């Protein structure tokens, strides 16, 4: 599932993000979207961890990325 949190109200976005992270049973993986490159996508999203059946990615500032 993909959830996009967008808008100008950063307080509500952070609150909704915190709710998602608390509800997730595991450790969230946080990334700076402004630094991501297209060649990293397969490694980030298709990589499996040995001990986790589910993964939570939190990617902030993806809209600031000029390379995507």
Q: Is residue 2 part of a domain?
A: no
Domain membership of residue 5 (yes or no) is no
Q: Distance (Å, rounded) from C-alpha 9 to C-alpha 29?
A: 23
Q: What is the pLDDT of residues 15-63, one digit of tens each?
A: 999 999 999 988 888 888 888 887 876 777 676 665 667 888 888 887 8
**Closest by Cα among 4, 65, 60 to 29:** 60
Structural domain boundaries enclosing 29: 10-64
* Domains in the chain, number: 1
Q: What is the pTM of this model?
A: 0.68
Tokens found for residue 2: 């993909």
């Amino acid at each position: 599932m993909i959830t996009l949190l967008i808008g100008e109200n950063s307080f509500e976005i952070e609150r909704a993000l915190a709710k998602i992270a608390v509800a997730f049973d595991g450790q969230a993986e946080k990334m700076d979207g402004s630094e991501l490159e297209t060649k990293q996508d397969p490694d980030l999203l298709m990589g499996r961890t040995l001990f986790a059946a589910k993964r939570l990615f939190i990617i902030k500032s993806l809209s600031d990325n000029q390379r995507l």
